[in-house]
Each structure stands twice: as C-alpha cells, then as structure tokens.
C-alpha cells in the first residue's frame, strides 16, 4: 500500500494538534497547581484545551448578531458545538463549556475617518459619532448577554499599522474620555440625542 504525501501530512497535522492540545492542558493544570488562587486561560481565541476560561475572538460589528450569539446558554453551546466566530473550534478537549468562564477576549477593532494606506482595522466608521454609537451598541449587547463573564476591547491604543485603538499611538484619546467610557459601558451620556440607526462600519 502506498500512502500519498498529502495523507501523511494530514496524519502528521492531526498528531501535532493532539500533542499541542495535550501539552496545553498539562500546562494549564500545572499553572493551576502552582497558583490555585487565579483562573487559568490555556489558550486564547480558539482551540482551548484545559483551564477555567475559554477566550473567544469575535469581531462582528453587528450588535444584533452579538446578542444572538451570546444571548442564551443554548446559543453559546451551539458555538461550542461548531466552528466559532473565526471559523475554528473554540475547544479541542471535548469538554465544551463545562462550567468554564466564557470571555470575549478580543472584540471591537474599529476606528473612524480616513486611514493611512497600510492601516489595519476590522471596521471603519464614517465619523466619531457613528464610531461611538457602534461601540455603545456592541458593548450593550455584550454586557446584557448573561452568558459572558467579561470582554476585552481591541484595542486600547493604535499600534503602528493597527489603527483600531480607542487612543492614538501618542496616547491621545480619539474621543472625549467620558464619551469613550459611556460607550464601553453601553450607555448614553445625558446630552446624547443621536439616533441608533446607522451603526455598521464600512
């Protein structure tokens, strides 16, 4: 019997993934044993094995989609059963959620206005007002989900070609701090009378 190089590559890839998952789970267990006071995240974004936290990268900018994905235990379990938002399995240890904290460890990734040619963003809004509105709607969906234990906005500052920070590379805010804070909390400022119609970046 002759085995093709492609078949061998698939076997090697599967064996490598199993070895990585096993090593990941072992490191998570060792870390937990060394410091049982803190929860352990074995991997981030996808393909988690072991640990007490499952971190998910989800860069949708549609608040309705976000609400649908994380609005119920059944919806989150469906994410664990299939490929996650980035097209990869969320876990590879066969445990699913299994009582672990589910965290959006990367979400957002937007900015507004004209961008340099080499800029990298997940979405670009037309104006500061629309950008803040988009952040607010997305964060409101995350904070009211009832299934998520936390989230991390991507990202705090611009970093060279990655221009999706809340602050510019010189650490100056892209909008007034009180407006950014309100948007990240999913609330409006008392003097905000904007409509919520347009909230999708280009």
Element (H, E) at 151: strand 150-154
Q: Which residues of the chain have pLDDT under 70?
A: 1-12, 193-202
Asked if 109 and 155 count as a contact pair (C-beta separation under 8 A), the reply is yes
Q: Which residues, in sequence order, are bridge partners of residue 150? A: 103
**32 vs 119: CA distance, rounded Å:** 39
What's the predicted TM-score (pTM) here?
0.83
Domain boundaries, the chain: 5-184
User: The tokens 């937007």 sit on which residue?
Assistant: 110
Question: What pLDDT sits at residue 30?
Answer: 93
To the nearest 10 degrees (0 to 180), the angle between helices 128-143 and 177-184 is: 30
Asked if 103 and 54 count as a contact pair (C-beta separation under 8 A), the reply is yes
Question: What pLDDT sits at residue 24?
Answer: 87
Question: What pLDDT sits at residue 73?
Answer: 94
**106 vs 83: CA distance, rounded Å:** 17
157 CB burial (10 A radius; 0-12, 13-18, 19+): middle
Q: Which fold is adopted by the domain 5-184?
A: TIM Barrel (3.20.20)
Question: What pLDDT sits at residue 159?
Answer: 93
To the nearest 10 degrees (0 to 180), the angle between helices 73-81 and 63-70 is: 90
């Amino acid at each position: 019997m002759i085995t093709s190089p492609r078949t061998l590559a698939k076997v090697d890839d599967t064996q490598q993934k199993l070895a990585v998952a096993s090593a990941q789970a072992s490191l998570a267990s060792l870390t937990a044993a060394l410091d049982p006071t803190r929860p352990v995240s074995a991997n981030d974004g996808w393909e988690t094995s072991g640990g007490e936290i499952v971190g998910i990268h989800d860069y949708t900018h549609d608040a309705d989609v976000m609400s649908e994905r994380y609005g119920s235990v059944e919806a989150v379990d469906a994410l664990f059963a299939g490929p996650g938002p980035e097209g990869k399995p969320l876990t590879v240890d066969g445990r699913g959620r299994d009582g672990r904290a589910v965290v959006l460890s990367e979400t957002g990734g937007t900015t507004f206005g004209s961008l340099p040619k080499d800029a990298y963003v997940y979405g670009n809004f037309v104006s500061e007002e629309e950008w803040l509105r988009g952040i607010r709607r997305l964060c409101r969906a995350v904070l009211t989900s009832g299934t998520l234990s936390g989230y991390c906005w991507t990202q705090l500052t611009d970093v060279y070609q990655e221009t999706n920070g809340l602050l510019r590379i010189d650490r100056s805010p892209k909008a007034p701090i009180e407006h950014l804070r309100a948007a990240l909390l999913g609330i409006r400022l008392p003097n905000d009378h904007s409509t919520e119609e347009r909230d999708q970046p280009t």
